[in-house]
Amino acid sequence: MAQVHPTAVVHPDARLHETVEVGPYSIIGPQVTIGAGSRVGPHVVIEGRTTLGERNRIFQFASVGADPQDLKYAGEDTELVLGDDNQIREFVSLHKGTAGGGGATRVGSGNLFMANCHVAHDCVVGNGCRIGNGSALAGHVTMEDHVIISGLAAVHQFTRLGKHAFISGGAMVTMDIPPYATAQGDRAELVGLNTVGLERSGFSKEQIERVKEAHRILFRSKLTLQEAMVRLRAELAGHSEVDHLIQFIQQSKRGLTR
């Protein structure tokens, strides 16, 4: 049996692995599944059709799987799905999806959600991301892998953040942030590359140089975006880090932060 504090309220239909720990006064609903080695602190509420993988840690006063803050939501059976090894700190809120957004909010593995941050309905968060204190993702935001958002930043609905991007503290992001970039300000603008993050993630010097050249072509030349994309394909295509950047730009619907 899971180790459940006597003051916690766990619905008998909830599915908790025998190694799960649940702290005092926490509430876990009937559609919740929690994987092996996970720890739920005191005063946590986990509700809705919520699935947590293994070794997740949820700190006090977090709200996980609540109904979305979307006035179109009419009680549909939607869900929140998290992978493994996530840390959800104090007063974090993670909301389940809506029928209009695909029915699910999805979070990968190895992410850190710092105190008071918010992930809205239908967001997709990759692996190894960091969301700083008090930052917020509006609905339908996509964060690729290893994105870092500093404190007190906000991301507009339907915006995409490319992998290894870095969002500075207090930034207001309203358009897509391309992979590997650093953005700051209200409204956010690109201010350089996240070279420190790339080095820490094991990118070689050659890969980083190609990323730098790609960004020079896209954002520092006097070419239009269409012209820059033609040159980028001609000169640097065939390398995975550049191919991902090209694909990200091609799929942009809100437009790119420049």
In order, the DSSP letters of 42-74 are TT-EE-SEEEE-SS-EE-TT-EEEEPPS-TT--
Residue 121 designated active-site: yes
Q: How far, in Å, CA of 47 to CA of 11, rounded?
A: 10
Residues whose CB falls within 8 Å of the CB of residue 7, separated by 6 or more in sequence, listed in order: 24, 25
Q: How far, in Å, CA of 155 to CA of 175, rounded?
A: 9
Side by side, the strands of the sheet bearing 148-149 are: 3-4, 21-22, 39-40, 57-58, 87-88, 112-113, 130-131, 148-149, 166-167, 181-184, 189-193
Spot the catalytic one: 70, 122, 145, 176: 122
Residue 139 designated active-site: yes
CA atoms within 13 A on the CB side of 157: 8
Tokens standing for residue 117: 């941050």
Spot the catalytic one: 23, 65, 128, 139: 139
Residue 53 vs residues 7, 109, 210: alpha-carbon distances, Å:
24, 9, 36
Residue in 129, 132, 166 with CA at minimum distance from that of residue 145:
129
Spot the catalytic one: 41, 85, 97, 121: 121
Tokens standing for residue 248: 């990200």
Catalytic residues: 121-122, 139
